[in-house]
A = this chain, B = another copy of it.
Amino acid sequence: MTIPDKIVGANAERSRSHNRKVVLDRIRASGEVGRAEIARTSGLSTQAVSNIIADLLDDGLINELGRRSGVRGLPAVQYGLNPKGGFALGVEIRPDAVFAAAIDLCGTPILSRRQILFAKNLRAVSDTVLALSHEVKRDVGVPSSKLLGTGIVMPGPFEATGLGGSASELPIWHDVDPQAWFEDLLGGPVVVANDANAAAVSERVSGAAKGLSTYAYLYFGTGLGLGIVQDGRLVTGAFGNAGEIGHIPVPSASGVAPLESMVSRLSVQNYLATAGIEVRNSNYLSQAYSAGQPALMDWLSAASGPLSTAIAIVENMLDPETVILGGALPDAIIDHFLTSVTLPDRSVSYRSDRAVPRLMRGGSGRMTATLGGAALIINRTFMPQIAA
């Protein structure tokens, strides 16, 4: 579940792989750059950059974008990412269905599919994932050879912990390492993460966190999750279960309760259920919010306090550039939180010289985490590292 490619020694080949990523990352960051500038910002010689650029052009990962003039000297040939140069697959395994999506090298979603999960055994899950990923690969409009890898998203926590009841706690994964299993099944690089982590990385690849490298993402799933990104890398903890913020105890009307008992999709549903309202489909909450439905409004104001606490905890513990709110709740409700939350003054994030807002809205909707799975792969493609 973590992504810490083992640190190994460097040799010529691995250095080149590292440097390709360095160059690729500068191109992505700038949108459009010339070789000389890449050389200046990367600590490589122009010659080295030239050679790597030639490689990347050969591989179709980048495009030539004409020359930039306006300054003295020979106009620099500009390069930019080629969206069709590669794509990544995201596969999200939920208790009732499997979702799959593809995004291109620039992080733009290409297509998505879903399929009901008829049984919860390893065989059924594997078959569904395999069928779905084949389907997406076939329809994606880019040669399969350009598949960079697959990001598998499934609910944490991973391995046996004190937090029961999650889908991945099903006997399926007790004896099987998901990463190895899917690498074997799908035949390319595979990364496994939970929904919050996937969603967090997604923001960096194509969302609110573009250009940021240290931030946190509060993910409204069934529960409440947290994705922590430091220097462009996920902070996943020792066993891949970091970010289980929903389980921390916070003050509540009845003493102390887990945060996610007050702030999560499940908690709205429970709250509305006690008012005799059943959340039938995914649009219900959105409509109820527009209609100003009283029970929902009550929940919202009840949830604001604990959510503020959560943000205070995240800010003070992680000192992020920003905290992003997103996940499986309607945009409108997340926007509501953005304004209703009270950001504490006593926080390391309370500073006057901020370049980014303390709070932002990230991706939302039911595909957020699935797309995030693919984003894990794209992010890795651009993350310089010496690895085996």
CA distance A71 to B326 in the complex (A): 58
* A259: min CB distance to chain B, Å: 9
CA distance A353 to B238 in the complex (A): 13
Tell me if A249 and B312 are in contact (CB < 8 A).
yes
Q: Chain B residues with Cβ under 8 A from A10's Cβ?
A: 10, 14-15, 18-19, 386
Tell me if B347 and A161 are in contact (CB < 8 A).
yes
- The 8 A CB mask of A3-22 against B (1 = contact, 0 = none) is 01001111100110011001
A243 on the B face (CB < 8 A): yes
- Pick the residue among B44, B346, B352 that contacts A247 (CB under 8 A): B346
Interface residues in A193-225 by Cβ distance below 8 A to B read 213-215
Tell me if A22 and B8 are in contact (CB < 8 A).
yes
Tell me if A160 and B353 are in contact (CB < 8 A).
yes
Tell me if B346 and A162 are in contact (CB < 8 A).
yes
- Pick the residue among B18, B317, B350 that contacts A245 (CB under 8 A): B317
Q: Chain B residues with Cβ under 8 A from A44's Cβ?
A: 8-9, 11
- Pick the residue among B43, B348, B384 that contacts A163 (CB under 8 A): B348
A275 on the B face (CB < 8 A): no
Tell me if B388 and A43 are in contact (CB < 8 A).
yes
A362 on the B face (CB < 8 A): no
A251 on the B face (CB < 8 A): yes
* A25: min CB distance to chain B, Å: 8
Q: Chain B residues with Cβ under 8 A from A349's Cβ?
A: 161-162
Q: Chain B residues with Cβ under 8 A from A256's Cβ?
A: 251
Tell me if A351 and B161 are in contact (CB < 8 A).
yes
A interface size (C-beta, 8 A): 70
Q: Chain B residues with Cβ under 8 A from A344's Cβ?
A: 162, 249
Tell me if A316 and B42 are in contact (CB < 8 A).
no
Tell me if A251 and B251 are in contact (CB < 8 A).
yes
Tell me if A22 and B42 are in contact (CB < 8 A).
no
Binds B, one of A60-68, A179-187, A229-237: A229-237
- The 8 A CB mask of A67-111 against B (1 = contact, 0 = none) is 000000000000000000000000000000000000000000000
* A232: min CB distance to chain B, Å: 9
- What are 18 A-B pairs with beta-carbon distances under 8 A? A8-B22, A8-B42, A8-B44, A159-B351, A161-B347, A162-B344, A162-B348, A163-B348, A215-B238, A230-B230, A237-B319, A238-B320, A241-B348, A244-B316, A244-B348, A245-B317, A247-B347, A386-B386
Measuring CB to CB, which residues of chain A are less than 8 angstroms from any residue of chain B?
4, 7-11, 14-15, 18-19, 22-23, 42-44, 48, 157, 159-163, 213-215, 226, 228, 230-231, 235-245, 247-251, 255-256, 258, 309, 312-313, 316-321, 344-353, 384, 386, 388
A226-B317, A247-B312 are known contacts; what are 17 more A-B pairs with Cβ within 8 Å? A7-B22, A8-B42, A9-B22, A9-B44, A9-B48, A10-B15, A10-B19, A161-B348, A162-B348, A162-B349, A163-B350, A215-B238, A228-B317, A238-B321, A240-B319, A241-B348, A243-B319
